[in-house]
Structure 1
Amino acid sequence: MSPEVTLRPIADADVEALAALWQATGLTRPWNDPRADIARARASHEAEILLAVGDDGRLAGSVMVGHEGHRAWMYYVAVAPALQGRGLGRILVKAAEDWAAARGIEKMHLLIRPENDRVRAFYAAAGYGEQKRVMMARWLDGRPLDA
């Protein structure tokens, strides 16, 4: 059974609770400052952070979505640990898809760490599949890629 939530864009008062949610769900890494990521998304006209807020006013989940004109990207899909497994993740994914479609974007992309089998299974069940591509990266400060 999916929880009763309201979806809405992030507001100033949500930043600390959102950063805490991302940390509690293991989405952050030492090199990702969640507050900086929130600020960048909020400053962009091509991105949005949507929140799922419970009837009690507490933050239940989030999704960050953005596009670069050709494809949309989904980031920081998070559901409060106590609410996982009730369908809220699918609600958030659908909200991101709807956001992109409303802007004429026809394809959604996301990245998953290869060892995260649970998240891979979640997206597979939601209709997503692996598309073979080579992703290359470089830290601009020169640190090794595995840092």
Structure 2
Amino acid sequence: MLTIPPVTLLRVYADFGRMDALLDLIMRSFAYMNGVIDPPSSAHRLTVENLREKCEAEIAIAAQEDDRLAGCVFLAERADHFYLGKLAVDPALQGRGIGRLLMQEAEAMAVAAGKPVIELQTRIELTGNQAAFARMGFVETGRTAHAGFNRPTSITLRKALR
């Protein structure tokens, strides 16, 4: 019988002592997109310093298994919703429900803050992500193009919360 250590969720603030590990987690989690999406992910522009700024400006949640960072998600507050970004799960730990746990926590935080909707964007090329978000109740509400592109590059998805 396989025993899986429990995953705990923690709020990450700008003074988080393992910001380099958080950055590494995001970079490893987004690496599969290299050469698949165009333009490249904005994750490539992250540094420890601007990740600290992101943690100050947004709600950052990390999933931790023992002492290992297992995943993270960021929520940016908007007038009528939360924008969810940089959902990342350690590639070696994917398929164990960590992403779903992070999404459930994000939804609970949105409801507690009186935000009836969570919005996110995923790239056109990432059909697996689109299907995963659809299974979680997200629906497409639009398509946008990054600057310099004459075709849609991202799909906007929203989920209405209870």
TM-score tier (shorter): 0.7 to 0.9
User: Is 1:48 equivalent to 2:52 in the alignment?
Assistant: no
Match of 1:69 among 62, 79, 94: 79
Residue 101 of structure 1: aligned partner: 111
Amino acid at match of 1:94: Q
Cα displacement (A) at 1:50:
0.2
SS of the residue 1:104 aligns to:
coil
Aligned equivalents of 1:102 and 1:25: distance in 2? 28
Cα displacement (A) at 1:77:
0.7
Residue 38 of structure 2: aligned partner: none
> Could you say which structure has the higher strand fraction?
2
Residue 10 of structure 1: aligned partner: 12
TM-score, length basis structure 1: 0.81
Aligned equivalents of 1:129 and 1:76: distance in 2? 19
User: Quick check: 103-112 or 22-31, which moved more?
Assistant: 22-31
Are the counterparts in 2 of residues 51 and 61 from structure 1 also a CA contact under 8 Å? yes
Residue 135 of structure 1: aligned partner: 144
Residue 157 of structure 2: aligned partner: none
Aligned equivalents of 1:2 and 1:121: distance in 2? 26
Quick one: percent identity of the two aligned structures? 28
CA RMSD between the two structures = 2.4
Q: How many residues align?
A: 137
Are the counterparts in 1 of residues 30 and 43 from structure 2 also a CA contact under 8 Å? no
Residue 46 of structure 2: aligned partner: 33
1:119-134 superposed matches below 5 A: 119-131=129-141, 133-134=142-143
SS of the residue 1:13 aligns to:
coil
Amino acid at match of 1:13: G
Cα displacement (A) at 1:31:
5.4
Cα displacement (A) at 1:88:
1.0
SS of the residue 1:111 aligns to:
strand
Gaps in structure 2 of 5+ consecutive residues: 32-40, 151-162
Match of 1:20 among 19, 24, 31: 24
In structure 2, the CA distance between the partners of 1:24 and 1:30, relative to structure 1 (3 Å rule), is: closer
